[in-house]
A and B are shown apart, each in its own frame.
Chain A
Amino acid sequence: MANTHKNEEMTSLERISTALQYKKPDRVPVAPLFCGASHRVLGITYDTWSLDAALATKSLLAAHEIIGFDAFVTLVDLSVEAYDFGQAVIFPKNSTGYPDYNNLFIRNGDDYLKVKYVDPLQSRRMKSVIDICGGLAKARGHDTGVIGFIYGPLGVLSQMRGHEDLFKDLIRHPDRVLEAVETINGTLVEYATAQIRAGAHSVCIDPLYSSASILKKETWERFEGPFCRRIADSIRNAGGLVTMHNCGNGVYFDAILKWINPVAISHAYPAYGCKTWEEHAAVWGNKVVSMGHSDPAATGIEMTPEEIIEDCRAQIETFSGCNGGYILSTGCEFPPNGNLLSAIAMIKAGKIHGVYS
């Protein structure tokens, strides 16, 4: 299927690229972070999808054929990197893989020293994501956005220590945490670069704790900000665009721009300090492109297609003053168990209500 739809002037890739430059494309690009849900399109189980790059690529391509989104995002799950550092991961048949919390790689302050550099190209799961990026780029990179994905170093560490203990260790063992973050980041820099070299146009960094719902801004800036900057620089140096995702409430947009400076931020809530989406659009909409902000659960599970189209219309309206710098998306991954028709409704909304005059 050609990716220039009837009555549309641009390919998906052109549409996304234009929006990222704050120019008006033919219509608002739509990228509903349709990742794990694609396993159902191909009819494979989630665990297979999570571990088999060829099948994951095939299912993402099949989902794209059906839904017609403007960009792929290669989020498999948040345990990808941790797995390769040695964390035991459980892969449910019908849900997202997650760390075995009864068998954590880091069990005390001393265990942070166990974390060693891993070559992503020699790893199991990171290599798989690199291959997915390559496969998607080869098949559709000429006309559709391919956005790789990388979990921030503190996030990776949380998968190996458990969130709660990691948060406490930021106070109890800050130097040990920083040492492990430094080691992990060496791998992440290589990993991000490899995704771009494989053909991804961009890599999306997920520094999940850069929001007021979790950490104080200064804490995030100490433990992850400078490290994310190095990842971002490596993406840019490899010729890719830096994007960023955080579905937490009250993301520190100022700190993100300072340390990562992405071309777009995928987010579920207004930035820290903004009470409404209107305020967010007025304050940040013309500084960095927003990717958002449909409620994933409501969109994928609760709402009818008609309700989704109306919800998306309102979002497009909110960001209409951003000179084209806006991408309609879900605020977090489209639910793996969500209704495929809901994703299609989002695309439809972009076509109906997102046409720039």
Chain B
Amino acid sequence: MSGVKELLYKDLEEAVVEMDEERAVETAKRVVEEGFDAYDAIEKGLAVGMERAGQLFDEEEYFIPELLMCSDAMYAGMDILRPHIRQENVAVKQKVVIGVVQGDTHDIGKNLVKIMLETSGFDVTDLGRDIPPARFVETAKKIDAGIIALSTLMTTTMDGMGEVVRNLIEQGIRDKFKVIVGGGPISQGFADRIGADGYAHNAADAVKLAKRLVA
């Protein structure tokens, strides 16, 4: 790696850790101007920064506000770099459809899982919150996802997760997708009862679970 390239990648990494969106954008622009590989810059700069932020979160140096700010910096840099990724560099990634089930609008947990999954190399389609069961299934079919990740914080909306599984069974495509669930009231027992493939207690566990399921 050339010296300049190294410095720029390191700067991207630091911009994420330091929660500096503006710096991430400026550095990403310089990467493009210098003609360095955009995919490389994401993998070796922004993603490394987000991994470090995740470590700081695990070590209780960073908490949710800091993690969210880091991810904003990462996405700001990615927005600049993404259009410049060379097609031959685009590896085939495992696809995940993620969202909060219908009737629930609490999405911080879902967003954290999304960030961690993307940082770990998954291609995540985020449907947002208050999503009807059928939309998860239709989107997963459309993009040929490997995993459907469902989140809720409310007991009144938990059954929407079971509805997604039932929908897959009714269409005869249950074995084509892994369904993972999480959120405040969710437990392994609930996941087993609705026939989900896995349950994760937090975002880090969700990534481990996703990796295990598609290995």
Residues of A within 8 A of B (CB): 92, 94-96, 98-99, 101, 163-164, 167-168, 170-172, 212-216, 219, 247, 295-298, 300-302, 332, 335-338
Please determine whether B186 and A297 come into contact, CB atoms closer than 8 angstroms.
yes
Whether B185 contacts A296 by the Cβ 8 Å rule is: yes
Least CB separation from B156: chain A residue: A95
Q: Does B80 contact A (CB under 8 A)?
A: no
A214–B156 touching, CB < 8 Å: no
Docked-complex contact B68 and A96, CB < 8 angstroms: no
Report the minimal beta-carbon distance from A116 to chain B, rounded to whole angstroms. Answer: 26
Q: Which of A163, A214, A219, A338 is packed against the most chain B CB atoms within 10 Å?
A: A163
Q: For chain B residues 135-192, which have a beta carbon within 8 Å of chain A?
A: 154-158, 184-187, 189-190
User: What residue of chain A has the Cβ atom nearest to residue B190's Cβ?
Assistant: A302
B119 at the interface (CB under 8 A from A): no
Out of A164, A216, A219, A335, which one reaches B185, CB within 8 Å? Answer: A335
**A168–B69 CB distance below 8 A:** yes
State whether A95 and B157 are in contact (beta carbons under 8 Å apart), knowing that A212-B60, A297-B187, A335-B185 are contacts in the complex: yes
Determine whether the beta carbon of A215 is less than 8 Å from that of B64: yes
Which B residues have a C-beta under 8 Å from some C-beta of A?
19, 60, 63-66, 68-69, 72, 103, 105-108, 111, 129, 154-158, 184-187, 189-190, 193
Min Cβ gap A36→B in Å is: 9
- Which residues of A sit under 8 angstroms from B107, Cβ to Cβ? 164
Cα-based distance from A171 to B73 in the complex (angstroms): 14
Count how many pairs of residues, one from A and one from B, have CB atoms less than 8 Å apart in the complex. Answer: 73
- The answer to whether A337 and B155 have CB atoms under 8 Å apart is yes
List the A side residues contacting B63 at CB < 8 Å: 212, 214-216, 219
Question: Complex: how many Å from CA A296 to CA B194?
Answer: 18
Evaluate contact between A101 and B60: CB separation under 8 angstroms: no
Which B residues lie within 8 Å of A338 (CB)? 155
Please state if B155 and A298 are interface contacts (CB–CB under 8 Å).
no
Closest 4 CB pairs of A and B: A297-B185, A335-B155, A167-B65, A95-B156
Q: Please give, as numbers and ranges, the residues of chain B lying within 8 Å of A296 by CB-CB distance.
A: 155, 185
Instruction: Give the residues in chain A near B64, CB-CB below 8 Å.
Output: 167, 213-215
A-B contact pairs, 15 of them (CB 8 A): A94-B156, A95-B103, A96-B156, A98-B105, A168-B69, A171-B19, A171-B69, A247-B184, A296-B185, A297-B155, A297-B187, A298-B189, A302-B189, A302-B193, A332-B184
Partner of A171, one of B65, B103, B156, B187: B65
Docked pose: A137 CA to B43 CA in angstroms: 62
Residues of A within 8 A of B155 (CB): 296-297, 300-301, 335-338
Of all chain B residues, the one with the shortest Cβ separation from A272 is B60
Note all chain A residues with C-beta closer than 8 A to B158: 297, 301
The distance in angstroms between the C-alpha atoms of A247 and B154, with both chains bound, is 13
Report how far A172 CA is from B158 CA in the complex, Å. 34
Given the complex of chains A and B, what is the CA–CA distance between A167 and B72 in angstroms? 12
A215 to B57, CA, bound (A): 11
Alpha-carbon distance between A163 and B64 when the two chains are bound, in angstroms: 10
A217 to B46, alpha carbons, bound, how many Å?
28
Known: A164-B68, A171-B19, A212-B60. A101 touches B157 (CB 8 A): no
Q: Compute how far the CA of A297 lies from the CA of B185 in the bound complex, rounded to whole angstroms.
A: 5
In the bound assembly, the distance between CA atoms of A337 and B154 in angstroms comes to: 10
B65 and A302 form a contact (CB under 8 A): no
Given contacts A215-B65, A302-B187, 14 further A-B contacts (CB under 8 A): A95-B103, A96-B156, A163-B106, A164-B68, A164-B111, A167-B64, A170-B65, A171-B69, A212-B60, A216-B60, A247-B184, A296-B185, A297-B187, A335-B155
- B156, A335: Cβ atoms under 8 Å? yes
C-alpha gap A92/B155 in the complex (Å): 14
A167 engages B68 (CB within 8 Å):
yes
Q: Is the CB of A163 within 8 A of B108?
A: yes
* Complex Cα spacing A332 to B168, Å: 32
Set of chain A residues within 8 Å of B156, measured between Cβ atoms: 94-96, 335-337
Which residues on A sit within 8 Å (CB–CB) of B187? 295, 297-298, 302
Q: How far in angstroms is the closest Cβ of chain A from B184?
A: 8
A78 CB, nearest partner CB in chain B, Å: 11
Closest B residue to A216 by CB, please name it.
B63
Closest to B106 in A: A163
A335's nearest neighbour on chain B, judged by CB, is B155
Q: How far is the CA of A296 from the CA of B108 in the complex (A)?
A: 21
Q: A164-B68, A167-B65 are in contact. Are A297 and B105 (CB under 8 A)?
A: no
A340 CB, nearest partner CB in chain B, Å: 14
A296 to B190 CA separation, bound complex (whole angstroms): 13
A219 CA / B62 CA spacing, docked (Å): 11
> How far, in whole Å, are A275 and B153 apart by their CA atoms in the complex?
23
| In the complex, chain B residues whose CB is within 8 Å of the CB of A98 | 105
Query: Which residues of A sit under 8 angstroms from B186, Cβ to Cβ?
Result: 297
Q: Chain B contacts of A219 at CB under 8 A?
A: 63, 65
**A168, B65: Cβ atoms closer than 8 Å:** yes
Chain B residues with Cβ below 8 Å from A170 are 65
Q: How far is the CA of A282 from the CA of B103 in the complex (A)?
A: 40
Please name all residues of chain B whose beta carbon is closer than 8 Å to the beta carbon of A96 when the two chains form the complex: 154, 156
